Amino acid sequence: MPAVRRAADSGTATGVPAAVALRGVGFSYGPERSVLRGVDLSVPPGRFVSVVGPSGCGKSSLLHLVAGLAAPDAGTVELLGRPVNGPRREVGYVFQRDVLLPWRTLEQNVALGPQLAGTGRAARLREAREWLARVGLAGFEDSFPHQVSGGMRRRAAIAQTWITGPEVLLMDEPFSAVDVQMRMILGNELLDLWGESGRTVVFVTHDLEEAVALSDEVVVLSSGPASTVVGRFPVPLERPRDLLDIRTRPAFREVCDRVWQSLRDEVAAAYGEAGR
């Protein structure tokens, strides 16, 4: 386990503010559509936390609140000890769908963040090449997004976000569009990046096993409307982890079973709601 991670884990015990803190958060899309209600969630710095819950329960909305892309109707959202009033540069967001610009090469796409931050051309292209190499895309610098596979586009999207050095990474089903083997490979790569970085990750996924395999803690949201946190499950599996092996481990299955006990009721409720 890298030293940086032990330091990060002891963060809250030494009075360092949580990376992400939601207290009594409510959020709705107008008076008819309450999405979240009474959500309390605290993520210590350096943790990898996943959020699962039935489809439409408000997982993306929760990330939007943390990213400052939406404002709560009730309660408070804090990032690194300061209230969120809008988008902040300490936050990186990896979306479910490709947001690579089709007319820019992978190198130019990855260099976009530094370009917007005012980094000179030579420095930002050098940085982008370094990041492409870190995510296994050396040799594809001059390729356009449509010329590479879905898994490679995901890697480029991750490099595009990490290059800006965000303290907190918000990832909204980043691997949902790739096949299950590629998900595990990308997951391993993500864990390597995270393990070196000491950053905080909040990861949304539909896939309970992916959540357990990656995370320090899995948070379960109830079915909507007015979803709230109904379970928090620490994942006591040592790191570093290999996602290709971890699924056969009894301890992994135990945590998955416990999370599923909680999630199953919410999924059933969500289907019941949809069926009425």
Ligand X SMILES: Nc1ncnc2c1ncn2[C@@H]1O[C@H](COP(=O)(O)OP(=O)(O)OP(=O)(O)O)[C@@H](O)[C@H]1O
Query: Does position 33 bind ligand X by CB under 6 A?
Result: yes
Cis previous bond, 225, omega within 30: yes
Looking at beta carbons only, is 31 or 139 nearer to ligand X? 31
Residues 224-253 that bind ligand X (CB under 6 A): 224
Q: How far is residue 7's CA from residue 80's CA, in Å, rounded to a whole number?
A: 16
Choice from 37, 59, 155, 199 touching ligand X (CB under 6 A): 59
Residues that bind ligand X (rule: CB under 6 A) add up to a total of 12
Binding mask 167-206 for ligand X (x = CB under 6 A): ----------------------------------------
Query: Does position 50 bind ligand X by CB under 6 A?
Result: no
Nearest to 143 by CA among 83, 195, 187, 103: 103
Stretch that binds ligand X, among 52-60, 67-75, 79-87, 211-219 (CB under 6 A): 52-60
CA torsion 256→258→260→266, rounded to 10°? -150
Stretch that binds ligand X, among 9-17, 54-62, 99-107, 193-201 (CB under 6 A): 54-62
In this structure, what DSSP letter does residue 227 have? B
Q: Tell me the sheet residues that pair with 170.
A: 93, 202
Stretch that binds ligand X, among 8-16, 41-49, 58-66, 108-116 (CB under 6 A): 58-66
Looking at beta carbons only, is 113 or 224 nearer to ligand X? 224
Residue 199 Cα distances to 94, 124, 190, 196, 221, angstroms: 14, 22, 11, 9, 23
Question: Residues 156, 132: contact at Cβ < 8 Å?
Answer: yes
Query: Does position 35 bind ligand X by CB under 6 A?
Result: yes
In the complex, what is the shortest distance from the CB of residue 147 to ligand X, in angstroms, rounded to a whole number? Answer: 29
Residue 30 Cα distances to 33, 34, 72, 86, 87, angstroms: 6, 7, 12, 20, 22
Binding residues for ligand X (CB under 6 A): 29, 33, 35, 53, 55-61, 224
